[in-house]
Each structure stands twice: as structure tokens, then as C-alpha cells.
Amino acid sequence: MLVVVAIIGAIVGISVPALTAGLAGVRLSSASGSVASFLTGSMNRAERREEAAAIVVDPAKNVVEVFTAASGEKPADTLAMPSGVVIEGQETRRFLLYPGGTFPRMEIVLRSEKGARRAVSIDPITVVPSIRRVEETR
């Protein structure tokens, strides 16, 4: 019985780090998809409602928000990052969306607690989001 418990303990000890790394990757992948969807939805909202909007990326609060004239000082919509995923950067960035105008080139880089990074960008011509891995430069 003691041998079986020792074997189970060894298997658990080996598999737990791999499992936590896998969960961090799933969180990062999910957050990247959510950011891409949020940005696309915000641009569609500006076009369909024909109202200007501002996308605010705030790394300090770890959120992406959309403000419109109708929402005033409160955001019309907010996307908070899940635990273990942070928005890279020091300063708050603002992107203005005008109905009928071209959309700005924007890129948001997310980092997981394990150090993996993904960049979510929007092509200003096609308005199609893309998600790519960001490799470390050393």
C-alpha cells in the first residue's frame, strides 16, 4: 500500500506543473479570442449605430473599455482580463473609431503568468482580427 501511495505521489508531482502551464495557456488563448471579439464588436457597433467611439486599453486596470457619446464618462462596454493574464504596457492607449472612416491600426499584447505572449491586432483595411504568438527577443 505504501508503494502505491508513493507511485501516485510521484505521478502527481510530475503532472501538476504541466497541468498549471496548460491552464495558463488556455487562459491566454481564451483572453486573446475575447479581446479580438471585443474589438470587432466595438467596431461593428460604431458602424451600425453610426456613432463615434473610443477604445481605451488600460494596462493599470487590466481592462479594455469602449466609450461612446451616449455612455458619457462610464464605459459602454468593458472587457476585464482573466486572472493570470495581463495587458502589456505602461500607459493607457486610446483608439478613436469613426463611422464610415478607416479604423486605426491597433495591437494589444497579452502575457500569461508563465511568460507566454500573444498579440491581438486589427488590420485597418479588412477589419479582420489576427492573433499571433510573440516570441521573446533576447
Domain borders along the chain are 2-133
The list of the chain residues with pLDDT below 50 reads: 138
pLDDT score of 26: 87
Q: Are 103 and 97 in contact (CB under 8 A)?
A: yes
Closest residue by Cα to residue 27 from 71, 80, 76, 77: 80
Q: According to the model, what pLDDT value does residue 21 have? A: 66
d(CA 44, CA 115): 32
Alpha helices in 74-130 (DSSP H): none
What SS3 state is found at 136?
Answer: coil
pTM score, whole prediction: 0.81
CATH number of 2-133: 3.55.40.10
The reported pLDDT for the residue numbered 14 is 83
How would you classify the pairing of strands 53-58 and 93-97? Answer: antiparallel
Specify whether the CB–CB gap between 44 and 77 falls below 8 A.
no
pLDDT, residue 19, reads 67
